[in-house]
Amino acid sequence: MREQVGRAWREDLPNIAATTGQPGRLLVNPLRGIDRTVTAREAYRVLRCGRTDIGPWHGPARRDRIDGVSQGIPSVSVADVPGRAEATLLDVREDDEWQQGHAPGAVHVPMGDVPSRLAEISVDGELYVVCRQGGRSARVVEYLQHAGIDAVNVDGGMVAWQQAGLPVVDDAGRPATVY
C-alpha cells in the first residue's frame, strides 16, 4: 500500500490532492482510489522530488482556482439548474456538510462514495453535480464522464446556491444555511 501511495503521489499529485480546510493537511482524492489524509511534510517530500505543479488544489478553494480545474467540464450557474422534475441534483459534499443544509430534493452521495455507488446515480434525465464551491463537483463530473455518464457541474456550489436565495433545508425540511 505504501508503495502504491508513493507512486500515485509522484505520478499524479496535482490530480489527487485537495485541501481539507485544515492547515497543513491535504486530502488524497478518493475518486483515484486512495482515501487518506497526508501531512504537509509528506506533500513537501513529493514536491522536493521535482513535482511543483500542484496548481489549483494548493490551499483553500477559491473561485480563480476552481475555474482553472473546471476548464472543459460542462458547467452552469445555480440559476440555470432545472427543477427537480426535469433533473437530478447530486450533492457530493461530506455528511456533516449535507446535514448542515442542502437543496431540497437533492440526492446525497459523498465524493468518496461515488465510485462504489455509481449504480445508484440516476442517469434518467439531466444530472447536475454540486458541492460547497464547485471544485469537488467538477472532479466528480470529470469522473462520471469517464464512466460514461453525462453530468454538469454547478458553478459556485451550495455557497452560490444560498447567495442566489435558492432554498436550503436540513434533513427535517426546515430552512437551513450552508455557512
Q: What value does the mean pLDDT take over residues 32-46?
A: 53
Average pLDDT over the chain, rounded to whole? 75
**pLDDT tens digits, one per residue of 117-158:** 999 887 788 999 999 999 999 999 999 999 999 999 999 999
For residue 39, the model assigns a pLDDT of 54
CATH 3.40.250.10 residue ranges for the chain: 75-163
pLDDT at 5 over 50: no
C-alpha cell read off for 19? 485541501
C-alpha cell read off for 89? 441534483
Question: In this structure, are strands 152-154 and 126-130 parallel, antiparallel, or unpaired?
Answer: parallel
For residue 61, the model assigns a pLDDT of 43
C-alpha cell read off for 46? 513529493
pLDDT at 46 over 70: no
Q: Is 170 helix (H, G, I), strand (E, B) or coil?
A: coil
Q: Mean pLDDT: which of 15-24, 52-61, 69-78, 162-171 is highest?
A: 162-171
Smallest Cα–Cα separation from 118: which of 156, 145, 97, 136? 145
Q: Are 92 and 128 in contact (CB under 8 A)?
A: no
Q: What value does the mean pLDDT take over residues 103-123?
A: 92
Smallest Cα–Cα separation from 109: which of 7, 24, 48, 31? 31
For residue 63, the model assigns a pLDDT of 44
Smallest Cα–Cα separation from 110: which of 151, 82, 140? 140
Percentage of the chain beyond pLDDT 70 is: 60
Provide CB contacts within 8 A for 28, sequence distance 6+: 5, 8, 16, 17, 34, 35, 36, 37, 38
pLDDT at 86 over 50: yes
DSSP letter at 78 equals: G
The radius of gyration of the chain from alpha carbons, rounded to an integer in Å, stands at 16
The residues assigned a catalytic role are 131
Select from 3.40.50.720, 3.10.105.10, 3.40.250.10, 3.40.710.10 the CATH code of 75-163: 3.40.250.10
